[in-house]
Amino acid sequence: MITIGICDDEQRELEYAESCVKKYCEQHGRSDFSIMSFSTSFDLMGYVEKNGCFDVLFLDIYMPGFSGTEVAEYIRKRDEQCEIIFCTTSKSHAVDAFDLGATHYITKPYEQDKVNFALDKAVFNLERNLAKYIVKKTVTGIRKIFIADIVYIESDEHTQILYLKNEIITTHLTTAEFWNDLKTDSRFVQPHHSYIVNMDYIREITPKEVILEKGESVPVSKRFAKNFKEVYMKYVFGN
């Protein structure tokens, strides 16, 4: 299921965007889209705080309270993989939008083909990321492990414990072997020599530990602290 959120403070624009997304689903035979609409940035951010991010977000930039770019900054702190599509009346924020890793930028008024193009890009990115996997020998046999499902990896002497979204598996491989597979993927970082963390799941960073979305705690060592923070800030903010 691909979850899509739409946020615009103008009701007519909100309804139009939702109709365009629904038409895209009809045209492409997609029955795996779940759509939710929000008329304020506060409502959207409150929902995300409780339920997590959407896979795709359509954001108006000019909204009362928090602007679309401010909402995007908040989202980026929680879920880098969210595909953000800005829909607005001005091109003046395009640079800021793409600095935040926007998938696309649509100026109003727009037609169906603009939404189709933006969603094609977003869906391609999502499905490409979900399709990445590694194959490893675990204590129970050979496993295909989807990279997007890896929350973090912990080294316990000669055992690597993989904490996935919905299960925990163990292997007798080394941290170096896993790091060699994951180091080219910008989502992963080492805050400690015994841990590899997927930054998509980071909720908070303190001077001595990383708090993940479900409350798990991973230590940050002095040796890795400086590089870890630099990598995380670049990943979140793109600078």
User: Do both 142 and 205 map to the same domain?
Assistant: yes
Residue ranges in the chain modelled with pLDDT below 50: 239
Its domain, for residue 179, covers: 133-237
Q: What pLDDT score does 35 carry?
A: 92
CA nearest to 5, candidates 34, 42, 29: 34
Q: What pLDDT score does 239 carry?
A: 42
Decide if 201 contacts 194 (C-beta within 8 A): no
User: Do both 48 and 102 map to the same domain?
Assistant: yes
Q: Rounded to whole angstroms, how far apart are CA atoms 88 and 68? A: 9
User: How does pLDDT run across 51-108, given as a tens digit for each residue?
Assistant: 888 889 999 988 888 888 898 888 887 655 689 999 888 776 666 666 777 888 888 8
Domain of residue 214, CATH code: 2.40.50.1020
Two structure tokens written together for 80: 């880098």
Q: What pLDDT score does 18 carry?
A: 95
Decide if 145 contacts 162 (C-beta within 8 A): yes
| Side chain identity, residue 104 | H
CA nearest to 112, candidates 10, 16, 7, 2: 16
- Burial label for 163, CB within 10 Å (0-12, 13-18, 19+), is buried
User: Do both 125 and 185 map to the same domain?
Assistant: no
Domain of residue 81, CATH code: 3.40.50.2300
User: Could you give the number of structural domains in the chain?
Assistant: 2
